[in-house]
Amino acid sequence: MLLMFTAPAFAHTVALLRPPSHSPSTTEILARLRGELLSVGFEVVFRDHLESEATVMGAEVWQHALAEEDEVDAAIDVVGEVAPFAVDVWIIDSAREFHLAARVTPETKVENASKRLAIQASEVLRARLFETHLAARDRRYPVAPSTGATAGGAAVKAETETRTEPRQLGFELGAAVLASVDRVGPALLPIGRLDFAVGPEVLLQATVAGFGTQPVIETSAGNARVGTEYALFGTCYRMNRNRWLNPLAAISAGAVRTSVEGRAESPRVGHSVAQWSFLLDASLGAAFDLTRHYSVALAAHAQLAEPYVAIRFAEQRVASAGRPNLLLSLTLGAWP
């Protein structure tokens, strides 16, 4: 997991538009653009112009198609098929409308003209997306101007506005593999989680898991089948939540129910018991944003139960659960 945290976090996705026919110079420019955009932290996807789009419907068709892809924030269109003479840099705003940022033309009397063209297009894109981000932030959190004189000489008085953080409610569904360090497990458990964002990086979480597989402990005196269900409530700190890769750490507390169904060899008699215990859970992991509304979270957990469950055959302890339990969870989350 520590190695995964060092992966680059892509903040924006850029679509490279390929013309209907591909010449060697077009292919070179597209490759240069892709390499330059990846090197500065963009995620790059390719989209093709259809013949009907380029010759009949114009640019509106591909713009409409890209506008429906929530993860695409900008587009670069290679103008010209046989010999590209320019690239158009388009920005997609929050209303999914297109704005032409610039048309960049290659310099014909310099070496590596395609490379310089790719660098110039990347610089234009970074500058315009940065301006768009600042403008959106200023609209959400406007700063009151200081009192001063207007052009007509009249004094104006600014009114401050309260900064509010939007609250979000999400849910996660997935599975967990649970095992103790003392011969119990592994067990596969369905898991469900409700998330409530109280800040940009802080979540409150309610988690339930259970009704999964029941591992069997075998001995010469008999066997025992162990079942586990638990419910937790706690908090999660998720770093850089608006990026592609988000390290997370969480701590929760709740209750766990451990059931044991024992079967003994005659003349011994097996017993079936169930016990509720206090449960403390700590986890580390990472969340991977698939789109603006969906993510996948992978986390490793350590759980401590009090009192823990000891399993005995003929007064001999053969296994225990909850001191500690180790768990690996994988969930798919949605934020409406």
For range 310-327, the mean pLDDT: 89
Q: What would the pLDDT profile of 9-22 be if each residue is shown by its tens digit?
A: 446 788 888 777 76
Please give the mean pLDDT across all residues of the chain.
79
Write out the two tokens for 132.
Answer: 């768009």
**Among 25-39, 152-166, 225-239, where is mean pLDDT lowest?**
152-166
Is the pLDDT score of 279 beyond 90? yes
Q: What would the pLDDT profile of 92-115 be if each residue is shown by its tens digit?
A: 877 778 788 888 887 766 677 777
Instruction: Tell me which DSSP letter residue 56 carries.
Output: I
pLDDT band, residue 164 (cuts 50/70/90): very low
For range 51-78, the mean pLDDT: 67
At residue 236, the pLDDT reads: 95
Distances in whole angstroms, Cα of residue 44 to Cα of each of 10, 29, 70: 10, 14, 14
- Tell which CATH classification among 2.30.30.100, 2.40.160.20, 3.40.630.30, 2.40.50.100 matches the domain 168-334: 2.40.160.20
pLDDT band, residue 325 (cuts 50/70/90): very high
Answer with the residue of higher pLDDT: 62 or 82.
Answer: 62
Q: Measure the CA–CA gap between 132 and 114, rounded to whole angstroms.
A: 27
Residue that the structure tokens 């017993």 belong to: 271
In terms of Cα–Cα distance, which of 2, 9, 3 is closest to 245? 9
Q: What would the pLDDT profile of 210-220 be if each residue is shown by its tens digit?
A: 999 999 998 88
Residue-range domain boundaries for the chain: 8-140, 168-334
In CATH, the number for domain 8-140 is 3.40.50.800
Q: Mark out the alpha helices in the chain (DSSP H runs).
A: 2-5, 24-39, 51-52, 60-67, 113-140
At residue 141, the pLDDT reads: 43
At residue 91, the pLDDT reads: 84
Q: Which helix (H) or strand (E) holds 156?
A: strand 155-156
Answer with the residue of higher pLDDT: 244 or 31.
Answer: 31
